[in-house]
Structure formats: structure tokens, C-alpha cells
Structure 1
Amino acid sequence: MPSQKYHDYVHGYSERESVRLCDQASTLEELLHSDTKYPAGSQVLEAGCGIGAQTVILSRNSPQARITSIDISEDSLNKAKERAASEGVKNVEFRVENIFELPFKDESFDHIFVCFVLEHLKEPVKALTSLHRVLKKSGTITVIEGDHGSCFFHPETEAGVRAWNSLVEVQARLGGNSLIGRQVYPLLRKAGFSDVTVSPRMVYSDASRPHMEEGFVRKTIIPMVEGVRENAIEMGIIDAGTFDRGIGDLHRTAGEEGTFNYMFFKGMGRK
């Protein structure tokens, strides 16, 4: 079990993390959500909405659907409500709920949406099974997860790789799994979903794609790694000097001669 001084949510709940999540959502909106749209009148459950970065996109893509967005963190939900209000979102109800102890009746929702949640859970199949219960027959679930093992970059330095891998190790020690993207298909199958399909979504950045260099590498990836600095050092995974050199090297991957590649996995299943 992780020490109480560490957050189970590997990235923490800082204001900087809130900004990072919003930058990530806006940068990846087309790649991850262009094909996520729900019919008018649909009852949609967004499980683990966090600060609402994905919620706003869901609402914009499906303005006539009725969305219930839940999260276990009341502080995060308050930020989600503020963000939704600032964006004029009208079709979302926010509730503090536990994904493992859902208060909804069986078969309450037409569709379920889960994005960047399973990687933080010790029991992802149990969470998916809980969601399976509240999904209507023939309803669909959409799950999006990244896979830190899919990452490669240039220039690749020893310090850069060690800094990146320290994020993977910290999350594993906290009970999460940052390599979960490759498991989306079997996880959905184990939870009882049928007609499961998984679509890999690749992000590639170089100097010809400055929006990806800025929005994905500089504003999403590097702050995500920087966020585990204290935990990684305290856990003895990496020393401060190597970590800081690694961060500097990761910045070079968003430079004129740098490249960065990462894979997300979008799974869909049916009850």
C-alpha cells in the first residue's frame, strides 16, 4: 500500500494539473472525440469526470443528450461545475459518487463514457462491472486510455528515459497502471461487454506540427512528468539531478530537431 503522504491520483490536484488537463483535452479533442456523439434524449453517464475537461467536449458534441457526470472528488467536481458554467453547458448534472458503489438503478443509462480513469484504479474490472450493471441492454460504453509504454522520442537520452519511466513506476507503486491502454480490449471483455472494438489513436509531434509540440509535449506531457518529481525522488526511483536533466531533455523533443510519439486506445463495447 502506498504511504499516506502520496496521493493515489498520481498527478495530484494542483491548479497546474487542472490547467494541464484542460490543455490536454483541447489539444486532443479532434483525435479522441470527433466520433463520440450521442443521440438526442440519450441518458449518458460520464464516470470519473474530474475537473470537467472532457465533460465540456461531450456536451458540445451531444447537446441534446442528458449527461450525468460523476467523480469521487468534491473539489474536482466544483471545478467541473465552474468550467461547465463558463462554457455555457446546460445538459450536464454533476454528482459526487463512487464508481464502485453507484447509486443508480440497473439499466439506467443508454451510454457510458470513461476517459483516463481506469489507469488510476486498483481494480479496473470491478469498476467496469459496476458500470455494466447500470447500462441498458444494447447500450454502449466508451473507454479511452493512454499507454505510457507506447512512448518514444528523439533525442532519446538516458536521463530523459529515466524521467519518463519514473512516472510509470510512481503510478504503479500507487496502485495504478499507466500501461493500461493495451489492456482496454481484455478488460472490457472480462467485465462482460460484447462487440468490443479498440481503435488506436496515435499522437505524433515534430516541428512541422507546432500545435502538437506546444499543446501536447510542452503543456501536457512534460507537466505530467514534472508532477511526479517529489514522489519519484522520495520513493528512491530517481535522483533529483537525473530527473531534472531528463526534463530538460524532454523539452528538446519539442525543439526544432525533436520528435515525440504516443498512443491512446479508444475502446467501445455493448451490453
Structure 2
Amino acid sequence: MAAASSAGSYDFNALGTASGELDRLQLQARRSAELERSLLLQMGLQDGQDVLDLACGPGVISRLIAETHPASRVTAIDLNGDLLDAARQEAAAAGLERITFLQGDVYAPPLEPGRFDFIYARLLFQHLEDPLRALQAVRGLLKPGGKLCIMDIDDAWLSLVPEPEGFRSFTEAAARAQARQGGNRHIGRELGGLLEAAGFGDVAVHVETVSSRQLGMRAFLDITLGFKRLLLSGAELEAAAGTLAAADALVDDPQAWAFVGVFLASGCRV
């Protein structure tokens, strides 16, 4: 069997600087930051813990954790050097030099075993070819009793109201495209079973609903559809043009709503 690609279905550099992907990542994290802060507190994040932000991207959530938990040691790891450079620059500008940023692979993280009290992985597992192997590697980084918290998606829980014609065909085409690259846009429903299979205890999963009223319709569409647009090309993208235009038109419809279910899964090292 071929080894799983570390990048899985997400390769920031392959998207190109003109894609606007860095802006999308930062918008996604900033708009959800307050919600994530409260959810992390609910899931057991405490000041003074040794915390790992896994696949930190541009570091928005790493900075949030460091700002709200000043007694915690925060380590942030990502596979992509360019994203880490952006994260380091933003952290330095915010006076948060105490965050340690490392480049590394989730399947073989360059970190000592048994170190962390709390590990957070946001929107990572949907991209991984071998999520079970990744969970087994991450489990070894936790102290006994330490907790892993995963935030990810399941496209079955994405709705636009009114729904543009062809919207389901568009999301299914994006899911197929991501699957061809090793990802899974329905990973949310599988997280509980994967955590148990990887040897975690006290496994829990719940779904938090996020709406366009919370984020604003423009931000909601940019966050939930932006990466899907980048997955498609050629005839599939052309076929989706009308659907995407109709989705964009919802920004100007004061009666329109949109919803997405965010899966939160956690487990402890026993």
C-alpha cells in the first residue's frame, strides 16, 4: 500500500498566490474565533496547560489560545512553511513570541511523546488520507489523561435557504474531487469511531450549528464554498457557474439563511 501523502487533499502552495486562499483561511479563523474560544473552554482547555495547535495554518487560533491562556505553553505545527512564516509574523506583531511554531508532519510529528495536556485540530482530518494513522501518532503526544479536540465538517450538514438549483450536485462534485486527492468531506460522522479505533477513551461527539446570521452571509459563503470552488476545474466548474452565482446572490436577499453543522469530537489518552 502506498504511504499516505502528508498534504492529503490540501496543498496550500499548489493553490497559488492568486487563489486568495490565505485570506480565506484567515477570514475563516477570525470569524469563528469567538465561537471556537467558547467551545474549547467547554471541552476542557484551561490556562496553564501545555497546548498543541495541530495544523495551525496562519496561526489565528494559536494566537487566540495564547492570548486567552497566558499561563499556557502553546506550540503550533503545520506542514507548510509559507503558512508558518505568516503565523510567525502575525504572532510577533501581536507580541506573542512565546508561541513555538514548528514545521512538521501529522503522521510523524517532530515533538516529544507524552508532552501535551490538550491538542486541538481544526479542519485537518477532512484532508487526511489515513486519519486513523494520524490519530495514533497524535495520541502518543498526549500525557496520560490529556485530551484531543477535533473540529471538522460533514457536508451533509450544509444548507442554503433558498437552495440554489444544482447546489447538491455542486457539493457532491466537490466531495468527489477532494476524495480523489485523499480527503473526505463527510469526515465528521466518522470521527467518533476513528477516535475509539485509535485507542482514545471518553470519546464524545456533538454538532454545533453555525448560521449566516452569526457570520454574515458573505463571510459564510466565502468560508464554506471558497475551498470547494478551488477543488473544481474544467467542465465541472463550468457546470457549477450558475449555482455559484445564485449562491452569491443570497448576500443581497435579507430573508436568506445558511447553516452548517460543525462536528466537535474529543477523546482522552487512557
| TM-score class normalised by the smaller sequence | 0.7 to 0.9
1:8 matched to which residue of 2? 9
* Alpha-carbon distance between aligned partners in 2 of 1:114 and 1:47, rounded to the nearest angstrom: 5
- The answer as to 2:231 corresponding to 1:224 is no
* Alpha-carbon distance between aligned partners in 1 of 2:260 and 2:176, rounded to the nearest angstrom: 18
- The answer as to 2:245 corresponding to 1:248 is yes
Q: Say if 1:193 and 1:269, in contact at 8 Å, map to a contact too.
A: yes
1:114 matched to which residue of 2? 121
1:177-236 superposed Cα distances (whole Å, 9 cap, x missing partner): 01111112111111111111122110122xxx374213222x312323322233xx2xx5
The amino acid of 1:20's aligned partner reads: R
> Which shows bigger deviation, 26-35 or 91-100?
26-35
* Alpha-carbon distance between aligned partners in 2 of 1:91 and 1:61, rounded to the nearest angstrom: 13
1:1-57 superposed Cα distances (whole Å, 9 cap, x missing partner): 9xxxx9831673546111111111122223233132443432112211112132122
- The answer as to 2:188 corresponding to 1:152 is no
**Residue 132 and residue 100 in structure 1: after superposition, are their counterparts in 2 closer, same or farther (change >3 A)?**
same
- The answer as to 2:70 corresponding to 1:70 is no
> Which shows bigger deviation, 254-263 or 72-81?
254-263
Q: CA deviation at 1:146?
A: 1.2
* Alpha-carbon distance between aligned partners in 1 of 2:111 and 2:184, rounded to the nearest angstrom: 27
TM-score under structure 2 length normalisation:
0.87
Q: Say if 2:25 and 2:57, in contact at 8 Å, map to a contact too.
A: no
Q: Say if 1:160 and 1:249, in contact at 8 Å, map to a contact too.
A: no
2:105 matched to which residue of 1? 98
Q: Say if 1:202 and 1:264, in contact at 8 Å, map to a contact too.
A: yes
Q: Say if 2:48 and 2:70, in contact at 8 Å, map to a contact too.
A: no
* Alpha-carbon distance between aligned partners in 2 of 1:212 and 1:248, rounded to the nearest angstrom: 17
1:259 matched to which residue of 2? 257
* Alpha-carbon distance between aligned partners in 1 of 2:191 and 2:59, rounded to the nearest angstrom: 22
Q: Secondary structure at the match of 1:103?
A: coil
Which aligned runs of 4 or more in structure 1 are off by greater than 6 angstroms? none
Q: Which segments of 5 or more consecutive residues in structure 2 lack a partner in the other structure?
A: none
The amino acid of 1:160's aligned partner reads: F
* Alpha-carbon distance between aligned partners in 1 of 2:229 and 2:53, rounded to the nearest angstrom: 28
Q: Say if 1:155 and 1:249, in contact at 8 Å, map to a contact too.
A: no
Q: CA deviation at 1:264?
A: 0.4
* Alpha-carbon distance between aligned partners in 1 of 2:241 and 2:93, rounded to the nearest angstrom: 36
> Which shows bigger deviation, 35-44 or 53-62?
35-44
1:28 matched to which residue of 2? 32
Q: How many residues align?
A: 258
Percent identical pairs in the alignment equals 26
Aligned counterpart in structure 2 of residue 58 of structure 1, from 57, 65, 77: 65
Q: CA deviation at 1:73?
A: 1.1
**Residue 173 and residue 40 in structure 1: after superposition, are their counterparts in 2 closer, same or farther (change >3 A)?**
same
TM-score under structure 1 length normalisation:
0.86
* Alpha-carbon distance between aligned partners in 1 of 2:97 and 2:78, rounded to the nearest angstrom: 18
> Which shows bigger deviation, 23-32 or 90-99?
23-32
> Where do 1:106-255 residues align within 5 Å?
106-205=113-212, 209=213, 211-217=215-221, 219-230=222-233, 233=234, 238=236, 240=238, 242-254=239-251, 255=253
2:93 matched to which residue of 1? 86
The amino acid of 2:247's aligned partner reads: L
**Residue 64 and residue 259 in structure 1: after superposition, are their counterparts in 2 closer, same or farther (change >3 A)?**
same
